[in-house]
Structure 1
Amino acid sequence: MSGFELTNKAKSDLKAIGRYTQNNWGKQQRDFYLTALDRSFHVLASDHLKGHDCSEIRRGYRKYQLGKHP
């Protein structure tokens, strides 16, 4: 299984997402979002070709849809 390491900026962003989510929708939703993100990171680390090509942004970039708001 491949690993991954988040940058300090990514960790800071995740903390901000967690705070914002908790303040607006509560701890349960915060935990749901952060757990879903963590699972996605592991999926992407184990198969870096998951998702869709988005080389129009930058060569080699890919996107992976985790969920969406209605």
Structure 2
Amino acid sequence: MAAAFRLTRDAQQDLTAIRRYTVQQWGQEQSRKYLEGMQSTIRLLAEFPAQGLARQDVDGGVFSFPYGSHMLYYRLEKNQLVVFAVLHQRMTPAGHLKGR
């Protein structure tokens, strides 16, 4: 049985923006490949959440893991991986994670 995960509304909006940008810059096929790869990475993290880096600089219980040009931010809640943000690696987490 696959490990449980979910994306918050904020994370879903991040992915929508990533898809839109990637389609504009590199086309539909590249967008599909990139997002499928990201989804595979999230599934892997759901099974092995300790692979991420603990981000005490952001908040207690927050982890991050890189994928391509982006960073996945997640927490563990009731044995479920919760992805709450997907930011470009050049974005400063402190400025973009407040209220998520």
TM over 0.5: yes
Q: Which runs of 4+ in 1 moved over 4 A?
A: none
AA in 2 matched with 1:64: F
Q: In the alignment, which residue of structure 1 is the partner of 2:49? A: 48
Q: In the alignment, which residue of structure 1 is the partner of 2:89? A: none
Structure with the bigger percentage of strand: 2
CA positional deviation for 1:50? 1.1
Write out per-residue CA displacement over residues 10-56 of structure 1, whole angstroms, 9 at most, x where no aligned residue. 22221121111001111121012101110111011111111222212
Percent identity of the aligned residues? 31
Q: Which has the higher contact order (CA 8 A, sep 6+)?
A: 2
The normalised TM-score by structure 1 is 0.80
Q: In the alignment, which residue of structure 2 is the partner of 1:8? A: 9
Q: Number of matched residues?
A: 69
> Partners of 1:10 and 1:57 in 2: how far apart?
16
Structure with the bigger percentage of helix: 1
